[in-house]
Each structure stands twice: as structure tokens, then as C-alpha cells.
A and B are shown apart, each in its own frame.
Chain A
């Protein structure tokens, strides 16, 4: 890019702009573009790595058989897939009512009150709190008293991560609903709970659903809080979810760092599966929110 500083080009192309200014401008343009290219290359590199390494492990057995023992051949990750589904379902089922109701309080009842301000602030902090600390919290709260790792503890840990995401998006989306709609509802004689459920929630439903999908995408790949709560298991878990419950993230963590090629292959297949799912969820969330933004 230094070639542009040759005197021959100066009068014709750049008028009276001093070379120093032009060089600074060029450097900015080039480095900013380069930064964006780096970002895209990294994402591309991650996806290529996952596809190349992961696709080899895809087979019917992957979805029908439980994880094999150390060093043995064959097997699949069906128990981990099912376990992850169960854990994220518990997480979302617990988090959605709490998150939506808390978001409703902040947007409809609390609004500018001191308490609402404090909760809003703490929720924002909880949103970025290290997930490993949430794992420690649930360990102390549930695993230690119960004496065993359990799927319930894992689900609760995931719920605690999902709640702030849902609170934040619910509040933001409810605030976008015009006040005139609420007044119209109230003028018809509807009590505030009816106005909120059948007017405000309805108007903001796409946004609230987006928040829930985003929360789902966030907790589906969480590993750290599950290490101390749901742990992992190489067999089918029991129906009461006591003891370790196999799940994809912890399975990937343990298998990827193991010395057995078969386990490593399964870890890659699981990694591809989980990343594909999460990226798909993120894209769906964007598509759901689109009609709201363009309005």
C-alpha cells in the first residue's frame, strides 16, 4: 500500500491532501478490513475443522448406541445427546417462567422504581458472570446436600444461566410495545394482568420467543457448570436423573482430551453436532426477530 505515496500520483488522485493524512487513512482502512477478514477466517477455520474431523464419526450407531468404555471400539453418543436434551429442557422449562415474569415486572410494574433499577443492574451482571461460579453455587446448593451428582442439579445450573438472558430480552421487548396499546386495554376495563398477558405479551411475543431461543443456544453448549453438577456417565442414565447424567459438552471435554482415538472421534462428531445445532438456533433467533425490527 506504500506504493500510493509516489509523487506521481499525488496531484492527480488526491488533490491537496497531505501524504501523511492519506497514509494514516490508508492504514486505518487496511487494518480495519484485515481485522474483519481475520474474524471471518477464524470462524471459517473452526467450521472446516469441525466438519472435516466430525463428519467421519457420523453413522447410525452415533445416534443409537451409548458411549463406549475406555479403549473399546464402536459405540455412539446417543446417551449424551438424550442427556443434553433432558438437561437443556429442564433448564429452559425452569428458566422461562421465572425469566419472563421477572422481565415483565421490570418492564410493567417496577419500571423506574429503585428495586427495579437494582434488579436490572444485577441481572446485567449475572448475564456475564463466569459460568463456572454458577457451577460451584449449584454444587453447594444441590450436589453436596443430596450426596450425588444429578441431572436436576445440571438442569438448575443451566436455568440460572438462561434466566438473565430471558429477563433482559423480555424486558427490552416489552418496552418496545407502545404505551397506547396498554392504555387502550385498560380503557376497556381490563385489569393489568389481562392487559399484560393478552395485549403486551402478544405484541412482544416474537421478541420474547427470540430471547428464549437465544437462552437455549447459550445453555446448549455450556460445559463448565455441568462439570460439577451433572458430570458425565458412560451408560444410559436412570430415569430419576440421579448419579451422573451423560451430556454432550462434558462428553466432548473428556473424550477430546483422552488418549483413545475412538473417543476422540466421538468427541469431534459431538462437537460438530452441538455447534451445528447452536449456530442453527442463533440463525433462527435472528429470523424470528427480523419482522419486529423492520416495523
Chain B
């Protein structure tokens, strides 16, 4: 708009008759909004800075061994991140394994199969799942899901696989209490489903109807339309949505603290209790001091690095498609 800005410039050079007080406020308002935007920038830097600062003594003390040691001994002050990092990665991986098919199923149901009148209520139900606080998922997991899981999955499966190679160690519960890495994975899956599903649904909705109609027009079944038309179109952004869900699963704290069992033990079985980074911090931070506090901060630092790499990749993937 060169004409508009020119005319404004002309108007400004003339002595203005009515010069309201708002001219001075204009600069103040602009500065305020600039300052508020910078606060957002500072927050992220502050979070990283404070965690690195807090965790530095532990990194200095244990060096690279902090990553590879499975010790977590408050008495001897030996701390290692291995169990918590593996627990975090394993539970998040299980969450994706369970959650991704379910969320894509929901997205496809909502965009392709659901009758018109039911779309809104069903979509609302799924999105309300995202609003439930994580601590409620934790209680549901511990008091409703875990007992059922122990009775109908852990005990029967353990009885069958006992003594077998590989599956015998992977799926054997020493104490079938219902809590453990797999339980945490299931709860995390339930928590990330609404996120992935609603983003995937938006992406599927953005695909031009013409594409879908032409596919149906040459006689494709719904499966073929989904497999050969919709999925290739939305693939990148759906992967972005999945990464976003992964970021949430890695950092989720309260729900996991309830159901992961909070044990510091290296175990090959996904039925056994373990810890995640977030659950360990939540459990021990308030009673910790000295080196233990630093070690917990260092764990937080690792969590920061892991989740932020995942989130950056997720945002880059979802962004590219939005821009195109």
C-alpha cells in the first residue's frame, strides 16, 4: 500500500489541528507489546539456563558416566541417569505404539466414516479427553486400570511365557501388581490420543474434497482412498503430530508417577516397575538436597534436551505443510 503510507506521511508533515494524547501512548503501547513478545523469548532461555545451572555440579562430578550409570544411591551419593532415561524412552515408545493407530483410527472415523449428525459430539468427546488433568489419568490408571491389567493381562501372560526365551523375560511380571512400564505406556497412549487425533483430523480435513471424490469416482473403497490418497497427502504433518504427541509423552509427569512403580531397577520386562525422568524428579525433588538435587536437575536437563529436539522436529514438520 504505497499510496496509503504516502498519504499518511503527507498527513503527518502537516501541522495537525487535533493532537490527541494517544500519539504518545502509541509508542508506549508498541514498546509494551514488543517487551511482552521478548518475555516469551526469555522464558525459554531462562528455563534452559536455570536447569543447566542447577544440574552442572552433577555433570561435573559424574561426567559422561552420568548417562551410562544405572546407580541411584542416596547413601553413597552415586547417581546415574540410565534407568530413568530408558524408562522414559520405553514408556513413550509404548505409548506411540498403542496410541498412534488408535488416534489415526479416530481421525479417519471422524473425517470419513462418521455420519454428519454425530461428528460434533464425537469430536467434542475426544477433545474433552485432552482437557482432563493428568493427575486424574494417574488416579484412573492406578485405581481402575492397574488392577484390571494385573488380573486379566499380567498374570495370564506371565503364566504362559514363564521360562520361554526372550518373551519370557520381556513379558514376565515378577510381582503382578499392575503398575510398570507398560501400564505407564498405556496411560500415556490414552493421554496423547486426543492430541494426535485432533491434529490429524484437521490435516485430513484440509485435503481438497475433489481429490477424495475423484478417488471414490473411479471406484476406490474407503480403505484405498485412505491408503493411496489421504495418507500420502497428509503424511508429513501426521508425522509432525505424532512427534508432538511423543513430546508430551516424554515429559508427562503426574500420570506416570502414579503408575510406573518408581523403582530404580534395570529390568528387561515391560511389566516390571521402573522410573521415568519426570516421575523421579516429582518423587524425590522435595526431599533432596546437595548432590541429589543437582543430579535431579541434571536429569531435568536431559529431559529438556530430549523433548526439545522432538518438539522442534515436530514443529518443523507441521509448519512446512501449513506454509505450503
Q: B-contacting residues of A (Cβ < 8 Å)?
A: 17, 21-22, 24-25, 27-29, 31-36, 38-40, 42-43, 45-46, 49-50, 53, 97-102, 104-106, 108-110, 115-116, 118-119, 121-126, 128-134, 136-137, 139-141, 160, 163-164, 167, 183, 186-187, 189-194, 196-197, 217, 220-224, 227-228, 231, 249, 252-253, 256-257, 267-268, 271, 274-275, 278-279, 281-283, 286
Binds A, one of B77-85, B166-174, B220-228: B220-228
Do B106 and A35 touch across chains, with their CB atoms under 8 A apart? yes
Which chain A residues lie closer than 8 Å to B103 at the CB level? 35
Do B303 and A249 touch across chains, with their CB atoms under 8 A apart? no
Do A136 and B253 touch across chains, with their CB atoms under 8 A apart? no
Do A125 and B194 touch across chains, with their CB atoms under 8 A apart? no
Which chain B residues lie closer than 8 Å to A222 at the CB level? 133
Is the C-beta of B286 less than 8 angstroms from some C-beta in chain A?
Answer: yes
Do A118 and B221 touch across chains, with their CB atoms under 8 A apart? no
Do A130 and B224 touch across chains, with their CB atoms under 8 A apart? no
Helix, strand, loop or mixed for chain B's interface? helix
Do B37 and A253 touch across chains, with their CB atoms under 8 A apart? no
Which chain A residues lie closer than 8 Å to B244 at the CB level? 128
Given contacts A24-B224, A224-B134, 9 further A-B contacts (CB under 8 A): A35-B109, A42-B190, A100-B36, A109-B34, A115-B37, A119-B40, A227-B282, A256-B142, A271-B135
Least distance between A256 CB and chain B CB atoms (Å):
6
Least distance between A101 CB and chain B CB atoms (Å):
4
Least distance between B117 CB and chain A CB atoms (Å):
15
Within 8 A of A (CB), among B279-324: 281-282, 285-286, 297, 300, 303-304, 307-308, 311-312, 314-315, 319
Identify 9 residue pairs between A and B in the complex whose beta-carbon atoms are under 8 Å apart, listed by A's number: A36-B105, A40-B126, A102-B37, A122-B40, A128-B307, A129-B308, A133-B304, A167-B40, A274-B133
Least distance between B301 CB and chain A CB atoms (Å):
9
Select from chain B the residue with minimum beta-carbon distance to A97.
Answer: B36
Select from chain B the residue with minimum beta-carbon distance to A191.
Answer: B26
Helix, strand, loop or mixed for chain A's interface? helix
Is the C-beta of B211 less than 8 angstroms from some C-beta in chain A?
Answer: no
Cβ 8 A contact of A25, one of B22, B221, B314: B221
Is the C-beta of B60 less than 8 angstroms from some C-beta in chain A?
Answer: no
The interface on chain B, measured as residues whose beta carbon lies within 8 A of the other chain's beta carbons, has a size of 97
Which chain A residues lie closer than 8 Å to B250 at the CB level? 130
Select from chain B the residue with minimum beta-carbon distance to A220.
Answer: B133
Is the C-beta of B86 less than 8 angstroms from some C-beta in chain A?
Answer: no
Do A124 and B113 touch across chains, with their CB atoms under 8 A apart? no
Do A223 and B254 touch across chains, with their CB atoms under 8 A apart? yes
Least distance between B128 CB and chain A CB atoms (Å):
6
Q: How far is the CA of A276 from the CA of B40 in the complex (A)?
A: 31
Is the C-beta of B58 less than 8 angstroms from some C-beta in chain A?
Answer: no
Binds A, one of B41-49, B61-69, B155-163, B263-271: B41-49
Least distance between B21 CB and chain A CB atoms (Å):
10
Is the C-beta of B97 less than 8 angstroms from some C-beta in chain A?
Answer: no
Is the C-beta of B188 less than 8 angstroms from some C-beta in chain A?
Answer: no
Q: How far is the CA of A46 from the CA of B18 in the complex (A)?
A: 63
Do B33 and A17 touch across chains, with their CB atoms under 8 A apart? no
Q: How far is the CA of A134 from the CA of B33 in the complex (A)?
A: 23
Least distance between B315 CB and chain A CB atoms (Å):
5
Do A24 and B194 touch across chains, with their CB atoms under 8 A apart? no
Which chain B residues lie closer than 8 Å to A196 at the CB level? 29
Select from chain A the residue with minimum beta-carbon distance to B108.
Answer: A32
Do A25 and B131 touch across chains, with their CB atoms under 8 A apart? no
Q: How far is the CA of A25 from the CA of B224 in the complex (A)?
A: 8
Do A136 and B51 touch across chains, with their CB atoms under 8 A apart? yes
Least distance between B299 CB and chain A CB atoms (Å):
10
Do A110 and B37 touch across chains, with their CB atoms under 8 A apart? yes
Q: How far is the CA of A17 from the CA of B223 in the complex (A)?
A: 13
Do A25 and B36 touch across chains, with their CB atoms under 8 A apart? no
Least distance between B97 CB and chain A CB atoms (Å):
14
Which chain B residues lie closer than 8 Å to A45 at the CB level? 140, 144
Do A38 and B102 touch across chains, with their CB atoms under 8 A apart? yes
Q: Given that A125-B44, A129-B47, A141-B50 are known contacts, is A39 also in contact with B221, CB under 8 Å in the complex?
A: no
Q: Given that A227-B282, A282-B131 are known contacts, is A29 also in contact with B253, CB under 8 Å in the complex?
A: no
Least distance between A138 CB and chain B CB atoms (Å):
9
Q: How far is the CA of A102 from the CA of B150 in the complex (A)?
A: 49
Least distance between B125 CB and chain A CB atoms (Å):
5
Select from chain B the residue with minimum beta-carbon distance to A123.
Answer: B40
Q: How far is the CA of A27 from the CA of B47 in the complex (A)?
A: 47
Q: How far is the CA of A136 from the CA of B53 in the complex (A)?
A: 11
Least distance between A31 CB and chain B CB atoms (Å):
6
Cβ 8 A contact of A224, one of B11, B142, B282: B282
Which chain A residues lie closer than 8 Å to B33 at the CB level? 101-102, 104-105, 108-109
Do A32 and B254 touch across chains, with their CB atoms under 8 A apart? no
Q: How far is the CA of A56 from the CA of B25 in the complex (A)?
A: 56
Which chain A residues lie closer than 8 Å to B253 at the CB level? 130-132, 223-224
